[in-house]
Amino acid sequence: MLAAVLSLGGIGLVAATALGIAAKKFAVEVDPRELEILDVLPGANCGACGYPGCSGFAKGVAEGKAAPNLCTPGGIETLEGIARILGIEAAAVEPKVAVVACQGDNAKARVKYKYLGLTDCNAAQKIADGPKNCPAGCLGLGSCEMACPFGAIEMTSENLAVINRDKCTGCEKCVAVCPRQVIKMTPRKSTTHVLCNSTDKGAKIRSYCDIGCIGCHICKKTVPEAYAVETFLAKVDYEHDEEAALAIEKCPTKCIRDFSSGYPEGSSFAPPRNDAA
């Protein structure tokens, strides 16, 4: 009994000493600021900064290799936190939010064939450039929904992707997977957008979609400073976001939407919070 206690105790003592020495001798130097920065990051590991996860970004910032304002999901709070830790001035980064520039769901846009394959927009796009007649509209098979790390995207019952402005952090993962580049990054404060991505002429758009931009210039005539029309597609000048909302009533196809008054038809999202603007 005594021998067992002594021998086990002895082994334990020797091992503890060895481990203690090893821990001192082989200690990995960690910049304490790196751990502090990691604490203020959102921890989503979304990769929007271009570094492998939040810890990779924290290391990059601590070493001075990464710009401190690359974390879009963290927004201004994270940036201020990092600035405090590093003792630098916070250069604000414009918070962005993703917007699906299309409202042509199954009820409003017509298809050229019935797609029965894999539920993946990229797979559908390969077959005769996608089932929709529109060359640029949302295919509605949910590749962006799958890619979103924040659960900010939902597919409506009529298969249109809608992005929740409160949940979107601007990480751009959805932009990368969309085969039709229909998801646009826009300033978070701007709530009025032209929700169409097709550069076809008006008559052609009318042949396949009830809610596309036909390039009629009425919005530009109503509020000249807030709109520009190029290749039959209107765009909002986000410098004049508030004035842009004045043209919504005039738009003949109703393709301009102010998100502060609600999401496209069929979405279950409640209108965005006012403080998000």
Partner 1 sequence: MDVKTFAGGLHPPDSKEYAKDKVIERCPLPDELVIPAAQHIGAPAEICVAAGDLVKKGQVIATAKGFVSVPIHASTSGEVIAVEPRLHPMGKLLPAVVIKPDGEDQWDESLQQQDPDQLDADALKKLIGQAGIVGMGGATFPAHVKLSPPEGKKIDTLILNGVECEPYLTADHRMMLEESERIIDGIKIVRKVLGLETAIIGIEINKPDAIEKLAKECAPHNIKVQPLKVQYPQGAEKQLIDACTGRQVPTGGLPMDCGVVVQNVGTCAAISDAIRLGRPLVERVATVTGPGIRNPKNLLIAVGTPLKHMLDQCDGLDGKPAKIIMGGPMMGQTQLSLDVPAIRGTSGLLIFREQDLPRKNAGPCIRCGRCISVCPIHLQPTTIAAYARLDRVDEAESYNALDCIECGCCTYICPATLPLVQSIRHIKGGIMAKRRKI
Q: Which of 127, 176, 228, 270 binds partner 1 (CB under 8 A)?
A: 127
Q: Quick one: tokens of 275?
A: 């403080």
In the chain, what's the furthest Cα-to-Cα distance? Answer: 98
Q: What is the Cα–Cα distance from 47 to 270, expressed in whole angstroms?
A: 28
Would you say how long the chain is, in residues?
277
* Count of residues interacting with partner 1 (CB under 8 A): 12
CB of 118 to partner 1, least distance (A): 5
* Amino acid letter, 229: V
Q: Which of 9, 52, 117, 224 binds partner 1 (CB under 8 A)?
A: 117
CB of 181 to partner 1, least distance (A): 17
- Token pair 């492998």 is found at 52
Site for partner 1 in 216-255 (CB under 8 A): none
CB of 110 to partner 1, least distance (A): 13
Residue 61: its H or E element: helix 53-62
Q: What is the Cα–Cα distance from 67 to 64, expressed in whole angstroms?
A: 7
Contacts of 204 (CB under 8 A, 6+ apart): none
12/117 with CB nearer partner 1? 117
Q: Is 113 in the site for partner 1 (CB under 8 A)?
A: yes
Q: What is the Cα–Cα distance from 69 to 66, expressed in whole angstroms?
A: 9
Q: Is 126 in the site for partner 1 (CB under 8 A)?
A: yes
Q: Is 128 in the site for partner 1 (CB under 8 A)?
A: yes
Site for partner 1 in 93-112 (CB under 8 A): 112
Q: Is 201 in the site for partner 1 (CB under 8 A)?
A: no
- Is 134 annotated to bind a ligand? Reply is yes
- Is 138 annotated to bind a ligand? Reply is yes
Q: Which of 45, 106, 122, 159 binds partner 1 (CB under 8 A)?
A: 122
Q: Is the separation of the CB atoms in 198 and 210 below 8 Å?
A: no
Q: What is the Cα–Cα distance from 165 to 266, expressed in whole angstroms?
A: 16
120/172 with CB nearer partner 1? 120
- Is 71 annotated to bind a ligand? Reply is yes
Tell me the backbone φ, ψ of residue 183, rounded to 5 degrees.
-95, 125
CB of 59 to partner 1, least distance (A): 26
Q: Is 129 in the site for partner 1 (CB under 8 A)?
A: yes
CB of 178 to partner 1, least distance (A): 14
Q: What is the Cα–Cα distance from 214 to 206, expressed in whole angstroms?
A: 7
Q: How far is CA 171 from CA 26, 141, 156, 200, in A?
A: 38, 20, 22, 30
15/113 with CB nearer partner 1? 113
Task: Give the residues lining the site for partner 1 (CB under 8 A).
Answer: 112-113, 116-118, 120, 122-123, 126-129
Annotated binding site for [4Fe-4S] cluster: 46, 49, 54, 71, 134, 138, 144, 148, 168, 171, 174, 178
